[in-house]
Amino acid sequence: MTSYVTEPTRETPVLGEWEVVVLGGGPAGLAAATAAARAGRSTLLVEKGGYLGGAGTGGGLSTFCGMYSNVHGEHVLTVRGHATELLERIDRLGGLRAPHLSFADRIQAQAYDIPAYRSAADEHVLAAGAQLLYHAFAVGAITGPSGIEAVVVESKSGRGILRGQVFIDSSGDGDLMAWSGTGHEKADPYGDMLFPSTMFRINAVDDERAGPAWKTLPRLMDEAVAAGRPRFPRRGAIVRPQRDAIEWRANATQLRNPDGSAVDGTDVWQLTHGEVQGRAQAQEVFGFIRENHPGFERSYIVDIGPEIGIRETRRLLGRYVLTEDDVRSCARFEDSIGLNGWPVEAHVDGDLDIRWPYGDDPVGYNQLPYRVLVPSEGPGNLLVAGRCASMTHGGQSAARVAGPCFAMGQAAGTAAHLALKARSTVAEVDTGELRAELEEEGACLTL
């Protein structure tokens, strides 16, 4: 039974007012802030960490997925626009690897160096004219008759109020939509969420001897379990070289509570448990790799993701809910604001289940409708972009990766500008005008 204390009333300073306030600096948030600022809107991007990139940097991921689609067997760059410019900045810093084939060689992904991504993202967002507020943890929303009026943050400077006119929730966990009473859900109908992972990177690999370890290692791990070794945290370990093949990344852990359920990224005790468990699992899996796979004998863990990598928590209930069937049937929508070519990548209990588009020769991508960013009920000045947008558990298992999150973010920032221009709610934004603006800025809405 929780007990409560009533805190004394206090005066909280207003730190400023912006036309657009974006919460969370992952791929969705940094793209949203860039788009709103480039459209000429005073824009603040609020981030609890000291850098941008979200799970892509703070979770230690180091690969962009979902930038490419497999279109009838041809690998096509289907997320373009501001994201292309960001990747060019990373490349100029020497931090981008050429795309590689992943998952049975059916889809392309692209590895990057995390420090280069962090530096490039600073430059990208600031060059657009947005303002950054790092080390600011948003803890609440102030709402009124016209919707959300302000976000409340806590930081080393104390508590503060950030006023805005349009808000974009790209916190991954949908914090702002939860605090503002916006309709959302968590978990699938059986109470399951995608399992989180702790990422780690391995250095001093002899890549010639390691060979295509991403193919041989999962088999070695399965054979060891069949021979009596205790099960690994999960099957389907993803272990691949980085830009310089002396360094490899490993996506091979899976974080669960004592009752077997997925660690919930909105529960601070479960997050604490997951951090400890994730580091222990990283050491366990790495020990097996070093001792059992050629080329890793002299290797060591050079980094464990600073934060547990959360794949799924709250998801908006929006004007449209993108489903797994939409992803696998390559659905098209008149209000398309971008494309997703990533398959369903379901991190289920103990395993990884990849589900591809239906048929022998699929189009290979689905469109993302604007309506997945717009609450079906709730504040008229809130957009939700990224992994917490309006998707079912299955739909989110695909369109949560970086590429579609960049696309959703750019659309949200542009839509915020159009809502301000028309003095309308975000639901009333003219999607024809939105699509025209996105295409003008290089986005790919159809092929």
Ligand X SMILES: Cc1cc2nc3c(=O)[nH]c(=O)nc-3n(C[C@H](O)[C@H](O)[C@H](O)COP(=O)(O)OP(=O)(O)OC[C@H]3O[C@@H](n4cnc5c(N)ncnc54)[C@H](O)[C@@H]3O)c2cc1C
Residue 328 touching ligand X (CB under 6 A): no
Tokens of 288: 């097996």
Candidates 43, 56, 114, 177; binder of ligand X (CB under 6 A) is 56
Least distance from C-beta 168 to ligand X, angstroms?
A: 11
User: The dihedral of CA 84, 26, 28, 105: what is its sign?
Assistant: positive
What is the DSSP annotation of 33-69?
Answer: HHHHHHTT--EEEE-SSSSS-THHHHT---EE-SSEE
Phi, psi at residue 102, to the nearest 5°? -135, 165
Closer residue to ligand X, CB minimum distance, 123 or 433: 123
Least distance from C-beta 223 to ligand X, angstroms?
A: 25
Tokens of 437: 């603006």
Least distance from C-beta 404 to ligand X, angstroms?
A: 8
**What angle separates helix 82-92 from helix 402-422, to the nearest 10 degrees?**
130
Candidates 15, 132, 199, 337; binder of ligand X (CB under 6 A) is 199
Residue 270 touching ligand X (CB under 6 A): no
**What angle separates helix 27-38 from helix 82-92, to the nearest 10 degrees?**
110
Least distance from C-beta 260 to ligand X, angstroms?
A: 19
Candidates 402, 407, 412, 420; binder of ligand X (CB under 6 A) is 402
Q: Restricting to residues 352-391, which ones interact with ligand X according to CB under 6 A?
A: 386-387
Closer residue to ligand X, CB minimum distance, 196 or 295: 196
How far, in whole angstroms, is CA 21 from its chain's centroid? 19
Distance separating alpha carbons of residues 225 and 217, to the nearest angstrom: 12
Residue 405 touching ligand X (CB under 6 A): yes
Candidates 18, 22, 25, 264; binder of ligand X (CB under 6 A) is 25
User: The dihedral of CA 283, 286, 287, 288: what is its sign?
Assistant: positive
Least distance from C-beta 130 to ligand X, angstroms?
A: 15
Residue 401 touching ligand X (CB under 6 A): yes
Least distance from C-beta 328 to ligand X, angstroms?
A: 19
**257-287 b/e (C-beta count within 10 Å ≥ 16 → b):** eeeeebbbbeeeebbebbbebbbebbeebbe
Residue 148 touching ligand X (CB under 6 A): no
Q: Restricting to residues 161-180, which ones interact with ligand X according to CB under 6 A?
A: 170-173, 175
Least distance from C-beta 94 to ligand X, angstroms?
A: 20
Residue ranges with strand state E in 65-119: 68-71, 74-77, 100-102, 107-111
User: The dihedral of CA 313, 123, 150, 148: what is its sign?
Assistant: negative
Residues 424, 45 contacting (CB under 8 angstroms):
no
Residue 32 touching ligand X (CB under 6 A): no
Stretch that binds ligand X, among 226-234, 277-285, 305-313, 427-435 (CB under 6 A): 305-313
Closer residue to ligand X, CB minimum distance, 163 or 421: 163
Distance separating alpha carbons of residues 97 and 80, to the nearest angstrom: 17
Distant-in-sequence contacts of 86-89, Cβ < 8 A, 24+ apart: 86/30, 86/120, 86/121, 86/124, 86/406, 87/112, 89/120, 89/123, 89/124
Residue 417 touching ligand X (CB under 6 A): no
Residue 274 touching ligand X (CB under 6 A): no
Distance separating alpha carbons of residues 314 and 441, to the nearest angstrom: 30
Candidates 81, 147, 236, 309; binder of ligand X (CB under 6 A) is 309
Closer residue to ligand X, CB minimum distance, 60 or 378: 60
Least distance from C-beta 422 to ligand X, angstroms?
A: 26
Least distance from C-beta 423 to ligand X, angstroms?
A: 28
Tokens of 36: 């709103």
Residue 24 touching ligand X (CB under 6 A): yes
Stretch that binds ligand X, among 5-13, 222-230, 304-312, 418-426 (CB under 6 A): 304-312
Q: Under the rule (CB under 6 A), what is the footprint of ligand X?
A: 23-29, 46-49, 54-56, 58-59, 61, 63-66, 137-138, 170-173, 175, 196-197, 199, 251, 309-311, 386-387, 400-402, 405
